[in-house]
Structure 1
Amino acid sequence: MTRIGPAWLEAFDKELLHLFAIDHSDAGMDEYLLDCYADLPPCEAALAFGSDYDLERDDALWPRPGAPM
């Protein structure tokens, strides 16, 4: 298994929060599941995780203020 670096995990959590309003703990991800996505850049990993688990995009339900609709 790949050792998950703290910088990657922090960036991954930021992407999850931005896209899906959850972090890896909220999603119930353990080290094994994190390792499945650790070979991807954090943004791609968050999108892949969301796609694999059919997560709803945060901005699809509640667009950010000032964001084009």
Structure 2
Amino acid sequence: MTRIAPTWLEAFDKELLHLFAIDHRDAGVDEYLLGCYADLPPRQAALAFGSDYDLERDDALWPRPGVSL
């Protein structure tokens, strides 16, 4: 079993939060599934996870409807 480095997991969660507004706990990701992505850098892992599970992006660069800048 692959042991997940705490620093990688923290960076992975930050990327998930930035891209999809969830962390690995919200997504229900267990240690086995984390191990499937742990060989990638955190951002690439978050993007791959989002693609594999059809998560909708939460693009902070685009204003949400009804929000004026």
TM-score (norm 1): 0.85
SS in 2 for 1:59: coil
What is the one-letter code of the residue matched to 1:49?
F
Number of residue pairs matched by the alignment: 64
**Other-structure match for 1:29:** 29
**Other-structure match for 1:63:** 62
How large is the RMSD of aligned CA atoms in angstroms? 1.9
| Stretches of structure 1 lacking an aligned partner (at least 5 in a row) | none
How far apart are 1:64 and its partner, in Å?
5.4
What is the one-letter code of the residue matched to 1:35?
G
Q: Distance between the aligned counterparts of 2:42 and 2:63, measured in 1? A: 21
SS in 1 for 2:24: coil
**Other-structure match for 1:3:** 3
How far apart are 1:63 and its partner, in Å?
2.0
**Other-structure match for 2:52:** 52
TM-score (norm 2): 0.85
Identity among equivalent positions (%) equals: 83
| Stretches of structure 2 lacking an aligned partner (at least 5 in a row) | 65-69
Q: Which structure: larger Rg? A: 2
Residues 64/23 of structure 1: CA separation in 2 closer, same or farther (3 Å cut) = farther
